[in-house]
Structure 1
Amino acid sequence: MNETQTEADATPGPVLYVCTTCRRGEGASDNPPGQQLHDALAARAERVAVREVACLAACDRGCTAFLAQEGHWGWLLGNLGPEKASDILHYVDLYAASRTGTVMPSRRPASLSDMVLGRMPAAVISLKEPS
């Protein structure tokens, strides 16, 4: 941030919204897989805000998350799980470093080759809290 820029003016970093209601492949655990994914990401996240969301309406491709940052494309991601947390966070770092939020498939971790379900134009993404 430069000297004339205030904290309120700073562009927010990436935010990863994780569907915590996903029950894909649910086993004996009381925690749904989506909640497990959220918790694994939140425990390791350093440069991304990890937030819970009730449903991303991609249940057949769960676990799911939505990655957004102002000025970047937003990405709906699926086929995720807590075992992929480190790879997801690596992808988030690549996303944040990208000028537009596009990370070419060849640069993504191999475990995330089938994760992209859709994208949203940067023009419709605002992460600022309403005043």
Structure 2
Amino acid sequence: MTSWITICDTCKRDGWDAASASRTDGESLAEKVEAAAESVADIKTRRVSCLMGCSHGCNVAIQGEGKLAYTLGRFDPDEEGAAQAIVEYAALHAQSDSGQVPFRQWPQGVKGHFVTRHPPLPKEG
């Protein structure tokens, strides 16, 4: 089942300077995540203009229909492997029936980056 990586493209980490930066930190991370996810089955990406996690920037959400959803943050868009780790985790999320991925399977690059977990919405009826 498809999992989505929603990337905040307006995130700015501490020290971001509009005068010297050509784009936001979120835009930089989004570009890398999109490239890493391009050929991965069952993963889709999208950008949004604010996940309201400014104190945790750079933020992404991992979501899938009927599954637990996760917000991850505090990524450095210039850190080698951050985007790949996000995509690897999302692929594991996609393979999971519930969205829960055992800790031992988490890519090293996402450990310490989880901010919130949300239960799936209840089915109507």
Shared fold, TM over 0.5: yes
Q: Report runs of 4+ in structure 1 exceeding 4 Å deviation.
A: none
Relative to structure 1, the CA distance from residue 39 to residue 122 in structure 2 (aligned partners, 3 Å threshold; closer, same or farther) is: same
Relative to structure 1, the CA distance from residue 39 to residue 124 in structure 2 (aligned partners, 3 Å threshold; closer, same or farther) is: farther
**Residue 56 in structure 1 maps to residue 51 in structure 2:** yes
Q: Write the distance in 2 (CA, Å) between the matches of 1:63 and 1:124.
A: 29
Task: Name the amino acid aligned to 2:70.
Answer: W
Indicate conservation of the 8 Å contact 2:8/2:59, yes or no.
Answer: yes
TM-score by length of 2: 0.82
Name which of structure 1's ranges 116-125 and 81-90 shifts more when overlaid on structure 2.
116-125
Q: CA deviation at 1:79?
A: 1.3
Task: Name the amino acid aligned to 1:90.
Answer: E
Structure number with greater Rg is: 1
Name which of structure 1's ranges 77-86 and 93-102 shifts more when overlaid on structure 2.
77-86
Name which of structure 1's ranges 106-115 and 54-63 shifts more when overlaid on structure 2.
106-115
Q: Write the distance in 1 (CA, Å) between the matches of 2:60 and 2:86.
A: 10
Higher relative contact order (CA 8 A, sep 6+): 2
Query: 1:11-47: per-residue Cα shift (whole Å, max 9, x none)?
Result: 6x11111111011043643111101111111112133
Q: Write the distance in 2 (CA, Å) between the matches of 1:95 and 1:50.
A: 14
**Residue 36 in structure 1 maps to residue 28 in structure 2:** yes
Name which of structure 1's ranges 90-99 and 18-27 shifts more when overlaid on structure 2.
18-27
**Residue 113 in structure 1 maps to residue 102 in structure 2:** no
Query: 1:42-100: per-residue Cα shift (whole Å, max 9, x none)?
Result: 11213311111111111111100111101210111111233301111111111111111
Q: Which residue of 2 aligns with 1:69?
A: 64
Q: CA deviation at 1:124?
A: 5.4
The runs of 5 or more residues in structure 2 that have no matched partner are none
Q: Write the distance in 2 (CA, Å) between the matches of 1:15 and 1:111.
A: 18
Task: Name the amino acid aligned to 1:80.
Answer: F
